[in-house]
Amino acid sequence: MPGKGRPQAPAVATRRWVAGSWEDAPDELAAEEPLQLLLNGSPLSIVMRTPGNDVELALGLLWAEGVLRDRGQLREVRISAEAGEREGMLPLRADLLDSNQIDVRLEGDFRRPERSFLQSSACGVCGATTVESLSLDFPELGPGPELSPAMLPRLAETLREEQPLFRRTGGLHAAALFDAEGELLVLREDIGRHNAVDKLVGRALLDGRLPADRQVLVVSGRGGYEIVQKAVAAGIPLVAAVGAPSSLALATARRFNLTLVGFLRGDRFNVYSSPERLRE
Q: Which residues are catalytic?
A: 123
245/248 Cα distance (integer angstroms): 8
Residue type, 92: L
Beta strands in 90-180 (DSSP E): 92-95, 101-106, 173-179
58/74 Cα distance (integer angstroms): 12
53/86 Cα distance (integer angstroms): 10
| Tally of CB atoms within 10 A around 94 | 15
Helix boundaries (H) for 65-173: 151-161, 164-169
